[in-house]
Structure 1
């Protein structure tokens, strides 16, 4: 049962009965145990309007409130009203958890990860993939039909350069791995910059690619296939459900781009500027106050990524029937998506009934507080980070017996990275610190995973069967039970706000309340109904930790 809406409704009814006013009581969790479980400052807010003292108003609210068998009310301080739930109410919240589905019947398209073909995935792809996976899981929990879209960079001038370089060197594309492909790109870039004749050939090769030339498309497809196979390997290591079936690269929209321009022109939304077709939208200006264009078609006739993103918006609404679209892309693209969404709405490709949300996130920093780089200033590849995290976890587990060390080390190491990424507000930068990430204490992934493993061991030792929470006499029991009843609300809040750190905070609160419960309430050595009830509370806590970690994209090991 979700008790907060019921309490709010009854206190609002008391306000109507006492004063004829319909007011949200704005219940908040109590800051201290002695203040009960919830508090409302409604009396203080009504004092000026009613020209009465807050305490007098609080007395009338309490007199008119009917909480039934849910709990009791108490006036505190200048006029706060404290709500203390009865043990039976708390037990019911644990025994009969609800599962809200506000997204039922709706479709959400989530665009995330977005690596580039012919390049290894790096630390910059970590955040988009981890945040995107967690949001997809949470949105599915909320009832949405979730459509994952991996908008891979597989089109553009660089492929003309690379194909031309391969032909010049006589190297079959199928012999390359991703590292060799990246080196090929670097060679072709240097060649392009230093040799005008090669640059011209590369540009012609781009035209051949875009027009469907058989040889060019064949080589390009081999480069794509090699890259996608490597991406699959990294996703599997990261524990991401993304597969090649979710890939809809930039190339997928190539045939739609002329129509994008035609439709925008027909709607009177494009203006020629220095030979380019641009949209000048109201409200978008540069630092000097001049209009800021969206370049849809370049002066050379080519299409920029704005045209591709507009085609993607149209496809997701028209063909995928999205009621909600989510883009998990770093904060540097904020202005770009504001313009794309505004232009798509002006073109009626993005109706007002479909929400479009840019889930912006900050940068991964190194110990020096700057964007994370290798010691020689190079890009940090994602695989190397994952390998390092698993190795660090394996070292911590070296003396543990009775566990599958390789599997647990992978779960703990990868989970530590994911939790560190998700546990802070996504809009903030954070420092990549493996020592802190894999710590078994504090607000870390391993701390939550260990809490789950410890509960699994305890329940196995007890040989417990399904039972119900019945006795909640100790404050530590009550605190834990109250938190467990809030799981659904915590998850649905993330589905609404797209801020996964809120779920992390909730799970950490559960784990710390569990620790306090262990200290105050013996489980295995207790007897009778108390033992049965406490074991049921442990089982419910284990389920919440398991489900919460799973939603975050983490594994919940049974033993550590």
Structure 2
């Protein structure tokens, strides 16, 4: 049962459509509240107090409520113990009835990750795989099918720059001989060298026009898939992609597709032909563009540039070609894109162009979600102590050093490293998902590893404690009998609000609601654990009831932590 929907249905039966009931922000007054009587008063020409009295009168004999009061037009509703006990038993028998499900056969395509294969993953790359993976799992949890793609930055000028620098360093490589039939499969440069090459080559190109021209020529050869050049590209990108996959795997981020800009490249001619035949483009200063301005724009909206005056294609072209290929190959009804919030203009332009040109139909939803940055204590992008960019592997190791400190001494030494790693990933992911998605936040490895704070470490430690408690009990716990304390009631109210939390989280396409809920639920359990003897409780019915609650909190935590892509260890 969704108690909020039940109350809202009763209000609808009274003639008050679209009336919204919320979880009370004053638990001392009630479990739920209805503050809409004042708005309804203007519509129905009644006083707020009169409307509130009608609601109280309608609900006063309802056995689901212990108390329904009118406080000067504000309706406060308190659930009855009978209802709470019965509902806990229903959830104990079928966990799914307390979750949020949408009856749909639709598919959501999610584009996140987006790493550039020319650059080592650093702290700034953390948010996209974290948020994207959790949002994907949330979509699946509420009933959607999903397809996910990492969409690598693996084409264009950056690749040409790398090839140019490799040619300068190793001109004798077989890759630069177009007359061979076979080329080496192994990369001629190591991963470390590769990640050093791109920034160096980029700097050289800015300072030396002849070097830039040479890089442009290699880019052209790559895009034409010339012999040797394309094989060199495949060799060095393969080791970079393997490295990125490995780090994403550490973060529990997995994808159905590991495609990139190179995969969209073959669709560009077909896309441009589609735009041309539909008369969707125009020429401006020698460039081929799509005008995406709208009358309601309050500031200038630049056009989408498909082809530059020199014949080159741009990021927008590749983006639209990627979407074009996805529309052709997959049957998805929604497309979710997750990137740094600074890319907002790019996606506004791309989506407008897609709809304006009928590349996608109006019944297909294109949604972009931007996120803020993860910063260091100085409010600037997280750095190493010497001021360099913090590699993502090093960030994980940094947090692992902190989480290792909270592991109990009785854990075998050979198990401590794996456990510290799981705790570190939990600390990192929870800290990253806890703030509002669009907000910047300060990353503090010590604070985020605190076993007593609002942290992933705290959640795992508490969840493992619940499992340990259940493993130690020597009785069956099949029935919840009675509420014996306010600690139990607080837990029950938190459990009941799971469905509402999932619904709000999916509606906002954000994970902070789930993170906050996890902390509230876990804290309510820890309050009970600190004040009630579970295993040594003398009264049999009370003991069984406490164990049922422990089981339900544990199952809820496991369910939500899995959505956040956080693994729960067996012990800490």
Q: What TM-score bracket applies, with the shorter chain setting the length? A: over 0.9
User: Is the Cα–Cα contact under 8 Å of residues 3 and 93 in structure 1 kept in the other structure?
Assistant: no
Work out which of the residue numbers 75, 78, 81 in structure 2 matches 1:81: 75
Mean Cα deviation higher: 417-426 or 350-359: 350-359
470, 476, 479: which one pairs with 1:459? 470
Query: In the alignment, what sits opposite 2:241?
Result: 228
Report what 1:41 is aligned to. 35
Distance 2:11 2:303 in 1: 52
Query: Where do residues 176-255 of structure 1 align in structure 2 (5 Å cutoff)?
Result: 176-242=189-255, 246-255=257-266
Match of 1:329 in 2: 339
Work out whether 1:496 is the aligned partner of 2:507: yes
Instruction: Please give the alpha-carbon distance, in whole angstroms, between the structure 2 residues aligned to 1:137 and 1:490.
Output: 15
Deviation at residue 197 of structure 1 after TM alignment: 4.0
Question: In structure 1, how many angstroms separate the alpha carbons of the residues matched to 2:257 and 2:133?
Answer: 12
Answering whether residue 146 of structure 2 is matched by residue 124 of structure 1, we say no
1:294-313, Cα deviation, whole Å (9 max, x unpaired): 11111111110101111122
Q: Deviations over 1:176-223 (max 9, x none)?
A: 222111222244334434544443332222221111212111000001
Q: Summarize the Cα distance change of 1:274–1:393 in structure 2 as closer, same or farther, 3 Å threshold.
A: same
CA-CA distance at 1:135 after TM superposition? 0.5
- 1:447 aligned to 2:441? no
- Could you tell me how far apart the structure 2 residues matched to 1:398 and 1:535 are? 25
The alpha-carbon deviation at position 29 of structure 1 amounts to 1.6
Distance in 2 (alpha carbons) for counterparts of 1:401 and 1:377 = 36
| 1:423-468 Cα distance to aligned partner (Å, 9 max, x none) | 0101000011111110112321111111101111211121343513
Tell me, in whole angstroms, the C-alpha distance in 1 between the residues paired with 2:266 and 2:112.
Answer: 23
CA gap of 1:54–1:161, structure 2 versus 1, over 3 A, is closer
What is the deviation of 1:22? 2.6
Call closer, same or farther: CA 1:286–1:22 in 2, change over 3 Å. Answer: closer
- 2:59–2:68 contact (8 Å) kept in structure 1: no
Larger mean CA deviation between 229-238 and 92-101 belongs to: 92-101
- Counterpart contact for 2:340–2:371, Cα < 8 Å: yes
2:498 aligns to what?
487
Q: Residues 67 and 80 of structure 2 are in contact (CA less than 8 Å); yes or no, is this contact kept in structure 1?
A: no
Could you tell which deviates more after superposition, 113-122 or 396-405? 396-405
Question: Take 2:301 and 2:51, find their aligned partners in 1: how far apart are those partners?
Answer: 55
> What is residue 477 of structure 1 aligned with on the other side?
488
- Which of 346, 351, 355 lines up with 1:341 in the alignment? 351
Q: Distance in 2 between matches of 1:447 and 1:70?
A: 34
Conservation of the 8 A alpha-carbon contact between 1:261 and 1:297: no
Whether the aligned pair in 2 keeps the contact of 1:73 and 1:81 (CA below 8 Å) is no
Give the distance between the partners of 2:57 and 2:512, measured in 1 at CA.
40
1:265 alignment partner in structure 2: 276
- Asked if structure 1 preserves the Cα contact closer than 8 Å seen for 2:70 and 2:76, the reply is yes
Q: What is the CA–CA distance in structure 2 between the aligned matches of 1:148 and 1:464, rounded to whole Å?
A: 44
SS in 2 for 1:378: coil
Residue matched to 1:539: 551
- Name the structure 2 match of 1:301: 311
Match for residue 69 of structure 1 among 45, 50, 63:
63
Could you tell which deviates more after superposition, 1-10 or 339-348?
1-10
Q: Post-superposition shift, 1:412? A: 1.0
Describe the SS at the equivalent of 2:330.
coil
Gaps of at least 5 residues in structure 2 are 174-185
Q: Which moved more, 1:269-278 or 1:398-407?
A: 398-407
Per-residue Cα deviation, 1:52-79 (whole angstroms, up to 9, x for no partner): 5544433332223376432244224313
Partner of 2:328: 318
Q: Secondary structure at the match of 2:371?
A: coil
- The range that moved more, 51-60 or 126-135, is 51-60
Count residues in correspondence: 551
User: Is this contact kept in 2: 1:364–1:372, CA < 8 A?
Assistant: yes
* 1-structure distance, mates of 2:424, 2:81: 39
Distance 2:106 2:233 in 1: 37
Let me know the Cα RMSD of the aligned residues. 2.3
The question of whether the paired residues in 2 share the 8 Å contact of 1:71 and 1:85 is answered with yes
CA distance in 2, matches of 1:344, 1:149: 19
Which residue number in structure 2 is paired with residue 23 of structure 1? 17
User: Does structure 2 conserve the Cα–Cα contact (< 8 Å) formed by 1:62 and 1:73?
Assistant: no
1:516 aligns to 2:524 (yes or no): no
| 393-402 or 29-38, which deviates more | 393-402
**Distance change (3 Å), C-alpha of 1:59 and 1:296:** same
